[in-house]
Amino acid sequence: MPVYIALLRGINVSGHKPVKMERLRAALAELGCQNLATYIQSGNVVFTSPPGSLPVLTRKIEAKILTEFGFAVPVFLTTAAALAAVLEQNPLLKDPAVDPGKLHVTFLSGDPPATARELLQPLAAPAEQLRIVGPVIYLYCPAGYGQTRLANGTIEKKLAVGATTRNWQTVNKLLAMAQ
């Protein structure tokens, strides 16, 4: 069975949209997901499921979360193979001055507009770097992600697509779990 990674947007942040990982795993098991494992409390789930359409499975998970927890949560679903490609394609890793501890990956709900870089670049601080590869934005935030103006909400408004961000360590850990 294929391995999937679900990234939940905006849960367990400052007490908003509380989701216990044990309860989340149980809810997804009711959908037929198997071999469920979560990583930290920010909504990262690795699981297997029979092959199917990513959009259909995403909608099922979102509907289950709404029913189970009482609030809507955007879910970004990918496969282990696609996540491996995200890690391999990071153009910022070619720069020896880039500290991987300050790297982040923003997953988009769809392809951004062709003008995405022009829309986002003016918001970047002078030392920040961003690269867009398909529905992924690679961010280097040397002052920390908490200081950037390139947060999910801003990206969503500027590009008219959903966004959720994970740090480089988390993305690597999720791939290791998926393998």
- pTM recorded for the entire structure: 0.93
Q: Taking residues 4-31, report their average pLDDT.
A: 89
HEC sequence for 149-179:
CCCHHHHHHHHCCCEEEEEHHHHHHHHHHHC
Pair 3, 80: CB distance under 8 Å: yes
Say whether pLDDT at 14 is over 90: no
pLDDT in tens, 91-146: 999 999 999 999 999 999 999 999 999 999 999 999 999 999 999 999 999 999 99
List, in order of start, the domains of the chain with CATH numbers.
Answer: 3-82 (3.30.70.1280), 89-168 (3.30.70)
